[in-house]
Structure 1
Amino acid sequence: MATDHQAEIEALRKTFQQISSVSNPEGLRERIAELTEASAAPDLWDDQDKAQSVTSKLSHAQAELDKINAMSAALDDLETLKEMADEEAGSDPETAAELYSDLERELGQVGADMSELEIRTLLSGKYDEREAVVTIRSGAGGVDAADFAQILQRMYLRWAERRGYSAKVLDTSYAEEAGIKSTTFEVSAPYAYGTLSVEAGTHRLVRISPFDNQGRRQTSFAAVEVIPLIEQTDHIDVPEADIRVDVFRSSGPGGQSVNTTDSAVRITHIPTGIVVSMQDEKSQIQNRAAAMRVLQSRLLLLKQEEEAREKKELAGDIKASWGDQMRSYVLQPYQMVKDLRTGYEAGNPEAVFDGDIDGFIDAGIRWRATGVKAGEGE
């Protein structure tokens, strides 16, 4: 028993060493010192956007370092608990049994925490640490697709809520009968883009349509787009001559007016055809600023994709590409949610739609980084 426990602890320490080499605690300490100095500047809050950026980065960096320090301490505690159990094994078997039971429970908890920490080290893309802008659009399937798009919106907002992340809906276009045509929202959390980027693609729903009088089974689709939120240092220039700005009145479900002024803004980027609408803020100026941020984010992602295509042409097709249809949610004739890329599946769609999607996200991050599907290599 003791030998097995020691082997588990040694395996966890080895994993932690790998995580530490990627996370670079010393580099984090230097970054925290720099950000702490910047946050103490007397004129910091003269520019509120800059101040919020500095304080947010400081908070995120400190949280990362705290997680690494806590994991190191937890491993030391495991060693101590094992030594105590081993010492009691010869003289007090009953106490030793209780200590070994505590050790096994702690090993399980530390293992789970280590797995979550390890996932973060796989998020090493250029923009992975950014906040995310998520857009969901209904696809083929008529009113069922619009309803499905709204179900997905709630799923991601519930996921963010369960994890304590801030999420803000920026724009929603409602369908005539039910559901939504499209929605765009921000998720503000460290590594939100890297985490949610594996959710991008076409999602499929199979169910008995609640909108079909004959109760027939319906297949519908919705597209999820995830882009990183831009920062001031990105320098994505958008000349005024390249955009067309239209203003209109904000509206809610069924076209009911929720604003008596033309405060909503639609920006069209003429060279690419990208269109961004914003109506969440109360003023036209605020909505235009928010729309420009999302437009710049999409242009940044477009630039990143062009660079990736160039690299792929030089390197060749190293591994299978992601298919458009990435996940199926089946409610009839059986209940199953399955990711078609990673092989990860869950038998409780209701829980998934309530935001329980960490298993799918973690499997997606591991698959993208290593090419290993769920259940392989275990």
Structure 2
Amino acid sequence: MATDFPLEIQGLHKILDSITAVSDPDALRERIAQLSEEAAAPDLWDDPEAAQKVTSQLSHAQTDLERMDKLADRIDDLGALVELAQEEDDADTLAEAETELAKIRSTLEDLEIRTLLSGEYDQRDAVVTIRAGAGGVDAADFAEMLMRMYIRWAEGRGFGTAVLDTSYAEEAGLKSATFEVKGPYAFGTLSVEAGTHRLVRISPFDNQGRRQTSFAAVEVIPLIEKTDSVEIPETEIKVDVFRSSGPGGQSVNTTDSAVRMTHIPTGIVVSMQNEKSQIQNRAAALRVLQSRLLLKRQEEENAAKKAMAGDVKASWGDQMRSYVLQPYQMVKDLRTEHESGTPSAVFDGDIDSFVNAGIRWRKQQQLEAEADAGV
């Protein structure tokens, strides 16, 4: 069926108008001006971490504004391209218009999804922890596959990543891994990936070639910032030090540089071993512990609000996504019903469609919960 370009272009303008109304470009310009002033400060690089954050935020904000400002022109140019192609009956130019239409749709979808990320910590960097669940060595291998998937996804978006801790399984894969994803709205975007993931495949570790089901848990928390007020008394923290180890227990460090930090009141445990010194690992562990306590505090506040509002429908369920490699090929999200028939592409980081569907689903759940509560 031939593309109805006038209808498509009209739809693109409507979506852009709604995005512009929510995004407030004027406020974004003010934010860019503020960040530009901070970036021009002569003492900016006295604190390299803060300087990098300012310059990164400025770059991403400028990119967002530029994309928004140029979209209207791109849509108008698409209309002119279609008119030219139709007047000259030029199939090649029409094909070019189809390609540009797809690109504009993709850009609009990214911007539209961004407008749905309005949570208190959605703009933050993310700390992702993946733990192998039931399924033995297959589960450990699955955990490593998921870690690679998320890191490939982050790299594809130009986000930075830093592995904080890895605990290797004896035969293959990971018992657990923790890593940062650094980029605008990294937490808000990846938070919909939290939950239990399930893999069904012919086990490469079973010499009888039997089908194996395994599980892995994904946790996503916002990265703590210096301005957050999460003070932890030293009396509430127990710190153990040990030697870092590599795959199969192989020692990769001859000093006790790895750190295990336990928050005594809650029992939350954080381990760090990927930095070079005990001091660096201790600082990284404290930052992740603060992040987990920050999220716990938010969850407790939300639970109290739900209790006051009554029985609000807001359950994610234990198992949120299945990756099936045998007897058929399919990845399916059990919350949104979104699916893909190419698991290899998904494991290679092509998860935007799942993430976007999850963000829309979560927003719908929030709206329904507010309606039920009479908000």
- The two structures have a TM-score, normalised by structure 2, of 0.91
Q: SS of the residue aligned with 1:272? A: coil
Name the structure 1 match of 2:118: 124
Query: Where in structure 2 are the equivalents of 1:219-368 lying within 5 Å?
Result: 219-368=213-362
1:249 deviates by 0.9
Counterpart position of 2:72: 72
Cα distance in 2 for residues equivalent to 1:98 and 1:337: 35
Question: Could you tell me how far apart the structure 2 residues matched to 1:150 and 1:279 are?
Answer: 17
User: Of 73, 89, 102, which aligns to 1:94?
Assistant: 89
CA positional deviation for 1:318: 4.5
- Aligned partner letter, 2:31: R
| 2:14 is the counterpart of 1:6 | no
Q: CA deviation at 1:82?
A: 5.0
Question: 2:62 is matched by which residue type in structure 1?
Answer: Q
Q: 1:100 to 1:53 in 2, by over 3 A?
A: closer
| Deviation for aligned residue 1:33 | 0.7
Structure 2 residues without counterparts, runs of 5 or longer? 367-375
Please state whether the residue corresponding to 2:65 is helix, strand or coil: helix
1:375 aligns with: none
User: Secondary structure of 2:184's match?
Assistant: coil
Shift of 1:61: 1.4
Within 5 Å, which residues of 2 pair with 1:90-169?
93-94=88-89, 102-169=96-163
- Please tell me the residue identity of whatever aligns with 2:335: R
Distance in 2 of aligned mates of 1:156 and 1:201: 14
> Which residue number in structure 2 is paired with residue 45 of structure 1?
45
Measured after TM superposition, the shift of residue 30 of structure 1 is: 0.5
The CA deviation string for residues 115-138 of structure 1, in whole angstroms up to 9 with x for no partner, is 222111111111111111100001
Structure 1 runs not aligned, ≥5 long: 373-378
Tell me whether 64-73 or 3-12 shows the greater mean CA deviation: 3-12
Q: Distance in 1 between matches of 2:61 and 2:104?
A: 22
Equivalent-residue separation in structure 1 for 2:3 and 2:102 (angstroms)? 16
Shift of 1:211: 2.1
CA 1:320–1:309: 2 relative to 1, 3 Å: closer
> Which residue pairs with 2:63 in the alignment?
63
Note the aligned Cα RMSD (angstroms).
2.2
Q: Are 1:210 and 2:200 counterparts?
A: no
Query: What is aligned with 2:22?
Result: 22
Question: Matches of 2:257 and 2:2 in 1, distance apart?
Answer: 68
| TM-score, with structure 1 as normaliser | 0.91
Give identity over the alignment, percent.
Answer: 70
Letter in 2 for 1:46: D
- Following the alignment from structure 1 to structure 2, what is the Cα–Cα distance between the partners of residues 143 and 255? 15
**Residues 356, 141 of structure 1: CA spacing in aligned structure 2 closer, same or farther, 3 A cutoff?**
same
For residues 162 and 92 of structure 2, the distance between their equivalents in structure 1, rounded to whole angstroms, comes to 48
What amino acid sits opposite 2:243 in the alignment? Answer: R
Q: Distance in 1 between matches of 2:243 and 2:346?
A: 35
Structure-2 change in CA distance of 1:79 and 1:215 (3 Å): closer
When the two structures are aligned, how many residues end up with a matched partner?
366
CA 318–18 in structure 1, closer or farther in 2 if over 3 Å, else same: farther
Counterpart residue identity of residue 145, structure 2? I
Which residue is 1:174 aligned to? Answer: 168
Amino acid at match of 2:304: E
- TM superposition shift of 1:296: 0.8
**Alpha-carbon deviation of 1:325?**
0.3
